[in-house]
Amino acid sequence: MATTDRLREIYDRMLAHWGPQHWWPAETPLEVMVGAILTQNTAWKNVERAIANLKGAGVLSLTALAELPTALLAEYIRPAGYYNIKAGRLHNLLHFITDHHGDDLQSFLAQPLPQLREQLLSVKGVGRETADSILLYAAGLPIFVVDAYTHRILVRHQVIDEDFGYEAIQELFMDNLECDAQLYNEYHALLVRVGNVYCKKKNPACAACPLQGM
């Protein structure tokens, strides 16, 4: 089966099994960006607790977060783990935005995709997956987000070799699927769901997986 057809079948099976995932679970683009930093190396439920702390303190705005002392920000996001590191990364990103765009987050996110991606990746602590999550989910731009679940699922179903890196996997999706932010959004969210529920690193539940037999 051609790669395009295989990727389409994977998507169709997951969507038929679960339906739309309504990702990213956030109320604003800023909340997406904060979540993209906080979700590094932790479970999403911990991110939700950290964001709830920020909302409860009334500081979930670009200006308020940027002006918080880093140590206080770290306390608010403590549930997300690695809170001192993540507070520093959040401030790196927020200060980059306020330095170049003031409090106008929309003008930052309205930049062309290549330019915005380059700027995000220039921020210390923002890697490819985090940058692409911001591009796709906060800015609504068509770029495919690759994570460990994506790599694991494609390797196990023999779509890619083990040594495929981030860019090669991203190109695979973007070369074989239409350039559609909503499709990339849904596809990534469904892969995360499969990875969480069935395609676990240890003891995968293959028999019940919607991708079984592919």
In CATH, 29-138 is 1.10.10.10: no
Domain with CATH 1.10.1670.10 in the chain: 3-22+144-208
> Can you say how many angstroms the Cα of residue 131 is from the centroid of all Cα atoms in its chain?
8
DSSP string covering 9-59: HHHHHHHHHH-----S--SSHHHHHHHHHHTTTS-HHHHHHHHHHHHHTT-
Integer Rg of the chain from CA: 18
Nearest CA among 69, 71, 83 for reference residue 34: 83
What is this structure's pTM?
0.96
Between CA 187 and CA 193 the distance in angstroms is 10
Strands (E), 88-151: none
Single-letter amino acid, residue 143: I
Domain with CATH 1.10.340.30 in the chain: 29-138
Between CA 78 and CA 63 the distance in angstroms is 20
pLDDT, one tens digit for every residue, the chain (214 residues):
799 999 999 999 999 999 999 999 999 999 999 999 999 999 999 999 999 999 999 999 999 999 999 999 999 999 999 999 999 999 999 999 999 999 999 999 999 999 999 999 999 999 999 999 999 999 999 999 999 999 999 999 999 999 999 999 999 999 999 999 999 999 999 999 999 999 999 999 999 999 999 8
Candidate CATH numbers 1.10.1670.10, 1.25.40.10, 3.30.465.10, 2.40.50.140; the one for domain 3-22+144-208: 1.10.1670.10
Two tokens at 55?
């909302």
Single-letter amino acid, residue 21: Q
Nearest CA among 131, 161, 176, 145 for reference residue 2: 176
